[in-house]
Structures are given as C-alpha cells and as structure tokens.
Chains A and B, each alone.
Chain A
Amino acid sequence: MSAGNQTNENVDDRDIIVIKDMNKWYGNFHVLKDINLTVKKGERIVVCGPSGSGKSTMIRCINRLEQFQRGSLTVNDVEMIDDVKNIEAIRREVGMVFQHFNLFPHLSILDNLTLGPIWVQKKSKQEAEAIAMNYLERVKIPDQAHKFPGHLSGGQQQRVAIARSLCMAPEIILFDEPTSALDPEMIKEVLDVMVELAEEGMTMICVTHEMGFAKKVADRVIFMDGGEIVEQNTPHEFFDHPETDRLQLFLSQILQH
C-alpha cells in the first residue's frame, strides 16, 4: 500500500476545482471566510477540523447543496452561477456520499443505482443495470441487488451509496463524513472501498475524522477552523510538523486515544 507522502502518479496538471475567495453566511453568521482552494484532477484531499468549522458546508457548496454569497467556484471549467444548466452540468460531474447514506428507501438497491443513469444520462435500462452490477461487485455486495436499503447494514448501505455515485461516472467524489454514522466494525469495510477508489485515481475530497485514512491516501490534508482554512500540507508534514498552534492542539486532542 502506498504511503501518503509518496507522489501520486494519477495527479495531472489540470485544475478541476477552483474556489476563489468563497464566503458564505447563514443569516448573519459568517460560516465560510475567504476560502481559496484549488484541486487538481486525480488529487485526494482530506478535510478535517472541529465540528462547526465549516468543512461540510464547504464541500456542500461544491455541488450547490449550499449556496455561497461571495467569491467564485469553477468545477471542470464550468462556473457555478445561478443558471440551472450550469448547476446540472456541475452536479453531473460531482458525486457525493453522505454521512447518513441517504439511499432512497422505497427503491431496491439496483433501482437506487440505475436511477441516475436512466433519468439523467438517458441510458437504457439494460445498460444502466450492467453498470450498476459492475459497481456493486466493486463494492462487494452484488448479492444484495434486489433487497431494499432497510435490509442492509450501515456499512453495506454506505458502500451502496458509494456505488450509486460511481454509477454516474463522476470526475470528483465528495465524501461528507462517510464513516461517522457507522458502527466500529463497519468502518473498515467502507474505508477499504474508499482506499481502492483512491488508488484507481479518482479525484476525492473527504471530510473525515479517520486520520489513518488521511495518512494512507491523502495527497493533501486541510485543517479548517472557524470557517477558514487554517493549514494545508502533505500528510507527512501535516501530522509530524504542524505549523499553527491551533492544529497542534487539535492533533494532540484527537490523537491522544
């Protein structure tokens, strides 16, 4: 398994996400302050920070689950503006995996996976099902295809959720604390899938508290607090030589046990 500080040969020079001076308010509360972030294609980024630091809000702005009020965001050369066409174009390229899986409970696993390919990409049912079965095999649960989400364990549901976003063949996948709602025994099966994905060269931004995962796969680790990016560095530098006292305090608290 590759160490995080080893160079990632999948990264190419193209900037796939460019965030410039992004600011966001909830009413009068300033949640994101002057966020600047550029992500290259193939790059794996882990975002961490205390709760309320704006890390989820930031990645949710990337596919416009949240709107920002100032600054600019460009995904795959499409600028995020108030135009349905642009929003849809960006959402087609950005997959997302949620903390609470958010599978569609009234649809079977297979239907959960084929919904996007059929209705958004206008693929035929056979084609969509072939794609879906392929990804279900990748996440190692093809035998659950005809069950409903409620019949699956949390870890299995999260793997289905990952497969669901992969079915849309996105350029980027955003992970919003994908293991925070899981039992300890299930975290590993989800992380394994994510590590595999990272090794295949998927561009990923993960908000997570799994520092082992960050060390293993991240090209860059970002620390956020109070709505701003406090520090970003390679995993090696990030964990071994934190520059700011805030990050030192954070690391000492989470790595204690």
Chain B
Amino acid sequence: MSAKEFKPLPAQPAPVTTTGPVAWVRDNLFSSAFNIAATIIIAASLVAALPGMIDWLFISANWSGVTQDECVKDGACWVFISAWSQQIFYGSYPTDEIWRVNLSLLLLTAVIASSFLLSDRLRNKISIPAFLLLPFVCLLLLDGSMIGLPPVTTDLWGGFSLNVLLAAASIIIAFPFGFLWALGRRSEMPFARSVSVTCIEFFRGTPILALFFMGSVMLPLFFPAGVTVDKLLRVWIILILFMSAYMAEVFRSGFQAIPNGQYEAADSIGLGYWQKTLLIIFPQVIKVSMPNILATFVMVFKNTVFLLVIAVPEMLQVIMSALSNSNWLGGHAIEGYLFVGFIFWACCFSMSLLATTIEKKLDTSHKN
C-alpha cells in the first residue's frame, strides 16, 4: 500500500508591522487617544522639569570644599555630604579602626559572591556555612575585645555600614528560623504548631516601631538587676524575630505551591522526613519563593532606618544630627534626604537585579 507523502510547510517570518521598534512605539505609546494624550503630557512635564533638576543636582552644584561657606553657587551643596561622609558611612567608629568595618563589608560581599560563583556542590559545602558564620565573625571583629583588638563599644557603631551589616546579620539568621517556623506551622504536632503560630502571628501583627520601643525600653525592665544586654544586640534579636515571622509566611506560601506528588514521590523512594524536606522540598520552595524572599529582604533593610527612633545612630539619624549641627545650619535637608534616598534606592535596586539573576539561574526551564 503506497501512502501519500506528507510535506510540512516551511515557517515564514512574522509581518514587519508587528515586530521592531516602530511597532513597539505604536503599540506602547500611541495605541489609543488616551495613550497619546498620556504620552504627550508625560513628555511635556519631563521637558519642563528635567533641565532645572539637572542644573540644581549637577551643573550649578557645589562639589568641592569642606565648610558650608564654600557653597556659593545656586545648586545643591554636596559639600555637606562629603564633609560628613565618614559619619554617614561609619558613625562614630574610631578612624583608626575603620578597616574592621570595611573588612566586615568585604567579607559579606565575598560570601555573597561565593554563592554565585561556586558550583552547586561547593556552594552547599562552603557558602552556606560561611553565611551562617558571618554575623558572628563580624560581631567579633567589630567589637574587638574578644580577639585582642582595641574594643569598640556598640554605641560608637553607626552610619550606613550599620544599616547594611545589621540587616544582613538579621536576614541570615532569620532564614533558618523562618524555615523552621514555617515547618512548625505545617507540622502535625500540636506543640510545634502552636508555638510557631503564636510566634509568627505576634511578630507579624506588631509594628516594627512598637517592637523596637519594646526592645529598648520595656525588655530591660524584665532583666534581673545588674544584668544588661547590649542595646544593639536587643535590636538585632528583634529584627531577627520580626524577619523570621515574615520569612515563615513567605516559605509557607512556597510550601503550598509544591504539588503533593513531590512528597509522595519522596516517600515512595523511602526518604526520611528531613531528607525529604531538605533535598526535595526546600530547593523548590526557595525557587518559587524567590521574589517574595527578596521583597522581605528589601523591607527589612529599609526598616533599619526606624532604629533612629530609639537613638541608634544609623544613616538617617547621622544625617539628622548633622543637619542640626551649628556649623551646618544653612538648610541642607534636601541634599541630605536625597542622598539617603539615593543610597537606599541604589542598594534595593541592585538587590532586585541580583534577584532577577538568581531567578534566571534557578530557572532550569522545567516548568511542568
């Protein structure tokens, strides 16, 4: 029996008007009367506002000098920022010991970089322990008294480096905590579940400002006489607990995205509870939760500025005290707040870019 031969049709290119820059502009900027009007209004307001802004920010700005008297031009007085830069970044940390802060930041960068550059197996063996050790290494290094360096008490720590290190240290410790709480909340054991639910709901339902006040004012009242716990340490613990509660909920939503079949398959090959959780479920939870995990990171990082209400000299607190310094009463609030805003924006934006990279890396395009 002879059959008719089947010849597939060749693929043809898409019509020109549907791809390319012209089509993009037409589809996105001029697709309807409303869109055309919006495009024109936005373009006009940009044209009106941008030159003035650029002039104030850069062209007529004062870039060099050490006192505010040198700010003679009309534009921004960036001298204010450069004169205070050491305090803005390092607080009152002694100048001779600043290398310790820099080393801590460098270690943090190195550990983050290692988790990107190393192969999967080395990452599990090196980067994860390094992450978990990092907060304590930095603590020893910055404090100094335990490792034979000149001691620097925590009231001198401050500035942007404090925001970064405190946020990083909280995130790192909160990660395993949050995961345990999420597991506890899903657990069938009543004790584990009720403890987890109580912790999560308490720390998620209380504003971070209230928690900071509680930590700085109320908690010491409960300590026995003579026992003092360092203020920064209390703040750190509060940040960890607060962050853990949010991470727990992020992980819980991740857990719910994992199909039951994954648990069943793990059970059917005989994996135990922890093997199943860590080898099968955890990596997939991390993957689906990545955008939310990052959002939580950014939130905690930004929340560190609330520390100013309990007089921890983080970046914004430094700027505010610089603004009330008698030598700088010329009204530099706009420059100061713009600078803080810019630094935070730059950090959060790079975290977003980092997250996109991670998501691409994790996505082995195995969407079922």
Contact = CB atoms under 8 A, between A and B. Distances in A.
Listed residue (A63, A91, A95, A119) with the most chain B CB atoms within 10 angstroms of its CB = A119
Contact of B268 (A95, A103, A148): A95
A162 to B, nearest CB: 12
Contacts of A164: 269
A91 B267 contact: yes
Listed residue (B261, B269, B270, B368) with the most chain A CB atoms within 10 angstroms of its CB = B269
Contacts of A104: 262, 265-266, 280, 284
B272 interface: yes
A63 B264 CA distance: 10
A37 interface: no
B279 A119 contact: yes
A119 B275 contact: yes
A95 B267 CA distance: 10
Interface in A89-110: 91-92, 94-96, 98, 100, 102-106
A98 B271 contact: no
B19 interface: no
**Which size class do A's interface residues fall under?**
20 to 34
Given A115-B269, A119-B271, A120-B271, A102 B365 contact: no
Interface of A: 63-65, 88, 91-92, 94-96, 98, 100, 102-106, 115-116, 119-120, 148-151, 164-165, 168
Contact of B368 (A115, A120, A150): A150
B283 interface: yes
Interface string B287-322: 100000000000000000000000000000000000
A102 B262 contact: yes
Contacts of A149: 366, 368
Contact of B364 (A63, A102, A106): A106
B268 A106 contact: no
Contacts of B267: 63-65, 91
Contact of A150 (B269, B279, B367): B367
B367 A65 contact: no
Contact of B264 (A95, A98, A148): A98
